Amino acid sequence: MSDRPAASLRLDSPLRLISSLRLDSPARAAGAVLLLAAVAGPLWLTDFWLQAGLFAMAAAVGAIGLTLLVGVAGQLSLGHAFFLGVGAYTYTLLAGEREDGMSGFGLPPVAALLAAAAVAGAAGAAFSPIAGRLRGIYLGLASLGLVFLGRHVWLNAEDVTGGYNGRTVEAFAVPGFSFSDEDPDYLAVLGTPFGELHRLWYLFLAVALLAAYCGRGIKAGRAGRAMAGVRDGETAAASVGIRVARVKATAFTVSSVYAGVAGALTALAFGRVAPDSFALTVSIDYLVMIVLGGAGSIAGASAGAVFVSVLPLMLVQYSAHLPFLSAPGSGGVDAATLSRFVYGVAIVAVLIFLRGGLAGALRHLGIRTARAGRPSRPARPAERSTPKESAP
């Protein structure tokens, strides 16, 4: 992605952005309400919720990228955390200053953010020769290798990454305005003082909306149709002139660009990057987000991202109000444990009871037709299920 996204965002009317969020009419109304709430949020949200919102929006960007790869193009990836890490460390390295024995290039943060997207995309493209040749869980497991190799690099390249303890992240800024507590030192909107969290909120919201807008455009356009074609049958896709290996590579690259941006945002939200933020569990969390939301659905991926990132924070924050919770280490169920249980149960329950995730469930409610779910293969298959001529 070049700097065009930002340009087109300004050109597009806000209405277009809103309309780009629509699912169908009731959902469109719900989307408008949500967007309004998101815009007004910083006026009344506490710092805790602002912080949670930042994590959720960063995760939404990454989840949209992953759902394009896994849901739309049908390529299983367990390597998303690696590309998130590439984005996060690229931003930190390029935007950071050279100090305390750390490398840094001191570039403008905007350039560093774009570079994070580009470098992560390049890493995805570099991996795509493997991605183009493998399919299904082979691809998933090969990409799992990336996460461990990446972690090894991050632990060892100490002058870039700060090793195990990580390094701090340069605040985001555009000329004349910093998304931190300084420059301007005091900013208030409708009487609410806008500090770092408030300012970042709007940056993250804009990026997340742009990510959703672009995601929908990709999915609905020629590239998205080619990806879906590859997912639903590589032979048939090739028969209409789709270059299967190239489409897979494109999907990997696009999803890595998203991951790069999401990684940089995550770094900004934490204010610090460390290898643990990009472990295998993070890859898995992202997969869970898109499966909970319904693979291939942009809105579903966003909803899944909010659920997965906010749930644990919320349970920990409000554990004092939940009488059945006990203190950590006392042997009972503490808040962190409870959030893991809820998380695990949610995964199992959604997969067993809600086909197609939340988005699928909503769709089914909306249509209310008599058909019994999505057929997994064409009709009258039994007559034709054996390839007759290839097994003489």
Q: Which of positions 121-150 make contact with another protein (CB under 8 A)?
A: 129-130, 133-134, 136-138, 140-142, 144-146, 148-149
Site for another protein in 330-359 (CB under 8 A): 331, 333, 337, 340-341, 343-348, 351-352, 355
Residue 230 Cβ, how far from another protein at the closest point, in Å?
Answer: 10
Of positions 244, 310, 316, 361, contacts another protein by CB under 8 A: 244
Judged by CB under 8 A, the number of residues near another protein is 102
Of positions 58, 226, 261, 299, contacts another protein by CB under 8 A: 226
10 makes contact with another protein (CB under 8 A): no
Taking residues 55 to 84 in sequence order and writing x for each that binds another protein by CB under 8 A, - otherwise, the string is ---------------x-----x--------
188 makes contact with another protein (CB under 8 A): no
Task: Output the 3-class SS for the chain.
Answer: CCCHHHHHHHHCCHHHHHHCCCCCHHHHHHHHHHHHHHHHHHHHCCHHHHHHHHHHHHHHHHHHHHHHHHHHCCCCCCCHHHHHHHHHHHHHHHHCCCECCECCCCCCHHHHHHHHHHHHHHHHHHHHHHHHHCCHHHHHHHHHHHHHHHHHHHHHCHHHHCHHHCEECCCCEECCEECCCCCCCCCEECCEECCHHHHHHHHHHHHHHHHHHHHHHHHHCHHHHHHHHHHHCHHHHHHCCCCHHHHHHHHHHHHHHHHHHHHHHHHHHHCEECHHHHCHHHHHHHHHHHHHHCCCCHHHHHHHHHHHHHHHHHHHHCHHHCCCCCCCCCCCCCHHHHHHHHHHHHHHHHHHHCCCHHHHHHHHHHHCCCCCCCCCCCCCCHHHCCCCCCCC
Which two three-digit tokens encode residue 124?
């995805």
For residues 215 and 5, is the Cβ–Cβ distance under 8 A? no
Residue 159 Cβ, how far from another protein at the closest point, in Å?
Answer: 13
Taking residues 296 to 325 in sequence order and writing x for each that binds another protein by CB under 8 A, - otherwise, the string is x-----------------------------
Of positions 117, 171, 214, 264, contacts another protein by CB under 8 A: 214
Stretch that binds another protein, among 93-101, 266-274, 307-315, 372-380 (CB under 8 A): 372-380
Nearer to another protein, 145 or 184 (CB): 145
Of positions 195, 215, 275, 304, contacts another protein by CB under 8 A: 215
**CB neighbour list of residue 80: distance below 8 Å, 6 or more residues apart:** 62, 65, 66, 255, 259, 282, 283, 286, 287
Nearer to another protein, 200 or 249 (CB): 249
Could you give the CA distance from residue 79 to residue 124 in angstroms, rounded to a whole number? 10
Residue 182 Cβ, how far from another protein at the closest point, in Å?
Answer: 34
Stretch that binds another protein, among 37-45, 85-93, 174-182, 211-219 (CB under 8 A): 211-219
Could you give the CA distance from residue 108 to residue 7 in angstroms, rounded to a whole number? 18
Nearer to another protein, 175 or 329 (CB): 329
Of positions 27, 122, 187, 243, contacts another protein by CB under 8 A: 243
268 makes contact with another protein (CB under 8 A): no
Nearer to another protein, 108 or 163 (CB): 163
**CB neighbour list of residue 306: distance below 8 Å, 6 or more residues apart:** 56, 59, 60
Spatial CA neighbour of 216 closest among 300, 293, 135 = 300
Nearer to another protein, 104 or 215 (CB): 215
Nearer to another protein, 54 or 227 (CB): 227
193 makes contact with another protein (CB under 8 A): no
272 makes contact with another protein (CB under 8 A): no
Nearer to another protein, 151 or 167 (CB): 151
Nearer to another protein, 39 or 137 (CB): 137
284 makes contact with another protein (CB under 8 A): yes
225 makes contact with another protein (CB under 8 A): yes
Of positions 195, 224, 260, 293, contacts another protein by CB under 8 A: 224
For residues 171 and 109, is the Cβ–Cβ distance under 8 A? yes
100 makes contact with another protein (CB under 8 A): no
